[in-house]
Amino acid sequence: MTEQMNITPATGKLGILTPGLGAVSSTFIAGVIAARKGLTAPIGSLTQMAHIRLGGREENRNPLIREFVPLAELDDLVFGGWDPISPNALEAARTCGVLEEKDLAPLSAELEGIVPMDAVFDQRWVKRLDGVRVKNIASKWEQAEALIADIEHFRIENNCDRLVMVWCGSTEAYQEASEVHDTVAAFEAGLHANDENISPSQIYVYAALMSDVPFANGAPNLSTDLPCMIELSATRGVPIVGKDFKTGQTWMKTLLAPGIKARMLGLRGWYSTNILGNRDGEVLDDPENFKTKEMSKLGVLDAILQPESYPDLYGNIDHVVRINYYPPRGDNKEGWDNIDIFGWLGYPMQIKVDFLCRDSILAAPIVLDLALFMDLAHRAGQSGVQEWLSFYLKAPQSTTDAGPEHDLFIQQTKLKNTLREWMGEQPVTHSEAG
């Protein structure tokens, strides 16, 4: 037995703040309220539905994760956030059209009561959106101060013991990190100087960390993965994690690629294309915003297949990712993958995947799990990048030079073993002895 970590109990209310009250966050909130009312099970959520094996298989110890680790209860969650367009969670849910009226009806009063605060928003980063509920403050330093005041106000108003923030806002235009992102001091000077390289999402991260609120980034833009934010999360003792929810096509990719590699089959090419018609699709129709997403999606294959170790199998891969905005499809995305593999004597084969998924239905439980696990990590005294939550992310942050782990099954093992270790249980190795 390893020693159990000292974890503060999850007493009182946990506020979940989402910058961005669009398709993902309104679907997430609606699902939690529906589950609370007993109208549905929280399908897709590990924190609510998964069991975890403890000890050897013969010991038959297999509790639910939520009974094994001290997580906040669904009944203790309070929701809030910021959005430059949506007037409340009900209108946001209606606009995005993910859930049907019959499912929204029993939740409508509660959803209507969730009114986002005015956003820190700048159209330069999301050209396709016209913000109306926006803070009328020009100075980036004062925008950060206003967000910090919002957070404090929300905390008091809703009698929250603790808060977490999950970015569910639009994907911002592509950028590389610059000098202003090097250190906290440089970033703060940049806020004062209105540095053009500081995007709104970065101001939210800064405000969250200065308020001791853990931050998870569900979009692919730069925010928690900047050196200044990593430094700030360490000095404030607050967990961060990013980036980009692993939902449709990349989830499939990180399921299939490890399988191809496990059998030592070769890969010649992987062509992925998507059609989607929601607001996210509209934002991603702009080349600058698409580039941010593309970079996040392209990384996974190399990390899983390790072409440097397997040049004969994976040394020459054409990997292409496309996203096409197609309004009739709404949130019900269609993702096609054409995978060219080869086997014995080099003979070619093809795998075709046509995934008719629902983006926000897949993303919503991820928001819940990230929020609950980030709160757990904070109570367990953790700070900095929470690599054990890579399971949920397309482009996970890594704390080592080895880079992130993308294989879904290794990520799942890492997540569960981290929980086991924190609770004083042995990690499960799946070896002949274990």
Ligand X SMILES: NC(=O)c1ccc[n+]([C@@H]2O[C@H](COP(=O)([O-])OP(=O)(O)OC[C@H]3O[C@@H](n4cnc5c(N)ncnc54)[C@H](O)[C@@H]3O)[C@@H](O)[C@H]2O)c1
- The contact set with ligand X (CB under 6 A) reads 19-24, 82-86, 96, 119-121, 126, 129, 168-171, 200, 218-219, 244-245, 247-248, 278-280, 283, 359-360, 362-363
Comparison of 190 and 281: residue with beta carbon closer to ligand X: 281
Comparison of 268 and 291: residue with beta carbon closer to ligand X: 291
Cα–Cα separations (whole angstroms), residue 156 to 20, 73, 91, 150: 21, 20, 26, 10
The nearest distance, CB 216 to ligand X, in angstroms, is 11
**Number of Cβ atoms within 10 Å of the Cβ of 87:** 15
Comparison of 66 and 246: residue with beta carbon closer to ligand X: 246
The nearest distance, CB 271 to ligand X, in angstroms, is 20
Comparison of 252 and 260: residue with beta carbon closer to ligand X: 252
Structure token digits, residue 144:
């950060």
Q: Which residues contact 391 (CB under 8 A, 6 or more apart)?
A: 246, 408, 411, 412, 414, 415
**Number of Cβ atoms within 10 Å of the Cβ of 229:** 27
Comparison of 363 and 368: residue with beta carbon closer to ligand X: 363
d(CA 218, CA 399): 18
CA 75 to chain centre: 22
Structure token digits, residue 434:
């274990």
To which residue do tokens 């590389």 refer?
176
The nearest distance, CB 363 to ligand X, in angstroms, is 4
The nearest distance, CB 163 to ligand X, in angstroms, is 16
Q: Give the CB-nearest residue to ligand X.
A: 22
Comparison of 47 and 278: residue with beta carbon closer to ligand X: 278
The nearest distance, CB 57 to ligand X, in angstroms, is 35
Structure token digits, residue 101:
């009226």
d(CA 111, CA 86): 12
The nearest distance, CB 424 to ligand X, in angstroms, is 34
* Contact in structure between 191 and 203 (CB atoms under 8 Å): yes
